[in-house]
Structures are given as C-alpha cells and as structure tokens.
Amino acid sequence: MVKELNKDNYEQEVMKAKGTVLVDFYADWCGPCKMQGPIVEQLAEERKDVKFCKLNVDEAPAIAMELGISSIPTIMVVKNGEITFKEAGLMQKVQLEALL
C-alpha cells in the first residue's frame, strides 16, 4: 500500500519515521507520473520492510518548494529522517529496488 501524504502528515510519516521511506512526488496531470505510480505500487506490495508514500505537489506546493523539487516525477528516499536520494525522472522498478 502506498500512503497518500499531505502538508499535515508529511513530517510525521517521512522525516520522523524510523527505517526507510520512499516518496513519489507527482501531479495528476503529469504523464510520466502516471507511469511511475504503478511501479511504486507494485514495489510496495513486494517490499513490506519499506514505507511507500506519494505526495501530490499541486496539493502541497510548500513541501515541494522546501525540498527543491522542480520536476516530476521525483523519487526521494529517506532513511531514519535523512534524505539519502532525490532524483527527478521516471524510474524503472529495478532502479528503485537498487535504492532500497
């Protein structure tokens, strides 16, 4: 399951979470984002040791701006509150697995 984030739960669910969190930054109008979503969903079904989340940048622009996210989709990996990876562009499943 991929948890939907917003401005109210982002800090708690991602930055204060223990362990590894993968966040998919997206927008409903973004074509590549529509391709990224199912890849993240599939990985979430397979990897129960990682928390998978998604954040709509149109609904939480302040968070996107604070993180310097100017292109979507962007994948960010946070381990115990520390950002270990952040990159824009469509990523395949094998690339995401390598990050985790």
* 27-60 confidence digits (pLDDT tens): 999 999 999 999 999 999 999 999 999 999 999 9
Annotated catalytic residue: which of 14, 21, 33, 64?
A: 33
Structure tokens at 37: 């979503």
What pLDDT score was predicted for residue 48?
96
Q: How many helices (H) and strands (E) does the chain have?
A: 4, 5
Mean pLDDT of the chain: 97
What pLDDT score was predicted for residue 45?
97
Average pLDDT value for residue range 12-19:
97
What pLDDT score was predicted for residue 40?
98
Question: Could you confirm whether 53 is annotated as catalytic?
Answer: no
Annotated catalytic residue: which of 5, 21, 22, 30?
A: 30
Question: What Å distances lie between residue 69 and 25, 64, 74, 88, 97, CA to CA?
Answer: 8, 5, 7, 8, 22
Q: Distance between CA atoms of 26 and 75, rounded to whole angstroms? A: 9
Q: Distance between CA atoms of 31 and 77, rounded to whole angstroms? A: 22
Domains and CATH numbers, the chain: 2-94 (3.40.30.10)
For a pLDDT cut of 70, what percent of the chain falls above it?
A: 100
Question: Could you confirm whether 33 is annotated as catalytic?
Answer: yes
What pLDDT score was predicted for residue 41?
97
